[in-house]
Homo-oligomer: A and B are copies of this chain.
């Protein structure tokens, strides 16, 4: 199979760099274009990019030129790591021009005709693209992936929701510093400290969770009717978002029943053959001191969410904790998995 030429929008930022790193050797995709801001356009990637990842810039990519995000990009598929404002203006233009845009930006995640997708959770929501096509008249497509913390919350809830019906969730997040991008949080603000209330984060998580766990019926996406109370905190660690939850179900499971359901979960149909899909979207740890972000974020190359500490809740039904790798499954890798789903479903 010939590799599909892809472009990375906003390739010089922290998430853009992750796309570069993950796509440099991808068996289905080939990096054909990198775009940047006004400042970096026209430059050589290696020179204009303040590379922040620990591994070096892939050899083959360093010498590429940085281009504008316009219709001339020599690609069929675009991964968007654009800042919100740029995503807002550029993503529709590019989708209209005929590109398939897989976006990690938040600008369109909640639009009623833009699928917000985690393949194992709600791949069927891609059917919204019919509506997108007819609404917008675009020659291309726009598909989004959720916020990093939403991903860790929803992947842990979905298997249980299917079987027991989630009704209410109290969630407290402890989010790693890399979730704030680069340069992001100054060392002096976060060392030996916690910063509560990441601006806008709780709202995003709540709304996205309801969309992702919602049903797609009769050509429409119905947000799930789940009550959510979310508190967010930035904590001094590098990678890996942790969520403590208390959950109320329609039918209350025992911890053992919940564990069994989580362990048997393989996601909705058609994801097993995707290149980046983990064997198990959710891993369960039984040790009382797990999950831990440093020890669990890397599970299945950062693609599995790890759930543990599953215990009864004295006030609702169950408590549990999930850990997700926020810059892999929760960001770049999540969008790449969406693109793989689009390929496997024939959208490209």
A183 adjacent to chain B (CB < 8 Å): yes
Interface centre among A52, A193, A197, A239 (most CB of B within 10 A): A193
- The answer to whether residues A227 and B314 also contact, given A289-B197, A294-B54 and a CB cut-off of 8 A, is yes
Contacts of A295 in B (CB 8 A): 54, 193
Contact between chains at B52 and A188 (CB < 8 Å): yes
User: Across the interface, which residues of B come within 8 angstroms of A315, CB to CB?
Assistant: 168, 170, 227-229
Return the chain B residue nearest A52 by Cβ: B188
Q: Chain B residues near A184 (CB, 8 Å)?
A: 186-188
- For the complex, what is the distance from the CA of A193 to the CA of B238, rounded to whole Å? 8
Expressed in whole angstroms, the minimum distance between the Cβ of A244 and any Cβ of chain B is: 5
A244 to B290, CA, bound (A): 20
A290–B293 alpha-carbon span in the complex (Å)? 24
Q: How far is the CA of A244 from the CA of B246 in the complex (A)?
A: 13
- With A170-B315, A314-B229 known to touch, is A193 a contact of B237 (CB < 8 Å)? yes
Interface size class of A (residues with CB under 8 A): 35 or more
Closest to A193 in B: B294
Do the beta carbons of A187 and B177 come within 8 Å of each other? yes
Say yes or no: B188 contacts A242, CB within 8 Å: no
Which of B55, B188, B189, B199 has a CB less than 8 Å from the CB of A288? B199
CB of A272 within 8 Å of the partner chain: no
Q: Is the CB of B188 within 8 A of A321?
A: no
Give CA–CA (A176, B93) in the complex, Å. 47
Contact among B55, B189, B192, B319 with A229 in the assembled complex (CB-CB below 8 Å): B319
User: Which residues, 34 to 55 on A, are CB-close (under 8 Å) to B?
Assistant: 52, 54-55
A248 nearest CB across to chain B (Å): 9
The verdict on A80 contacting chain B, using a C-beta distance below 8 Å, is no
Is A163 part of the contact surface with B, judged by Cβ < 8 Å?
Answer: no
Does A172 lie at the interface of the complex (its beta carbon under 8 Å from any beta carbon of B)? yes
Q: How far is the CA of A182 from the CA of B314 in the complex (A)?
A: 32
Does B196 contact A231, Cβ atoms closer than 8 Å?
no
Chain B CB within 8 A of A236 CB: yes
Q: How far is the CA of A189 from the CA of B178 in the complex (A)?
A: 10
Contact status B244-A172, CB under 8 Å: yes
Q: A309: which B residues are within 8 A, CB to CB?
A: 196-197, 231
Contacts A170-B170, A231-B321 aside, 19 further interface pairs with beta carbons under 8 A come to A52-B189, A54-B294, A54-B295, A54-B298, A172-B231, A174-B235, A183-B189, A185-B186, A187-B191, A193-B293, A196-B242, A196-B289, A196-B290, A196-B291, A197-B289, A197-B309, A199-B288, A206-B314, A231-B309
3 closest A-B pairs by beta carbon, nearest first, are A172-B172, A183-B186, A193-B294
Can you list 26 contacts pairing A with B, beta carbon distance less than 8 Å?
A54-B295, A174-B174, A177-B191, A184-B186, A185-B186, A185-B187, A185-B188, A186-B187, A187-B187, A188-B238, A192-B192, A192-B239, A192-B294, A193-B237, A193-B294, A194-B237, A194-B242, A194-B293, A195-B289, A195-B292, A196-B244, A197-B309, A199-B288, A229-B246, A229-B314, A236-B237
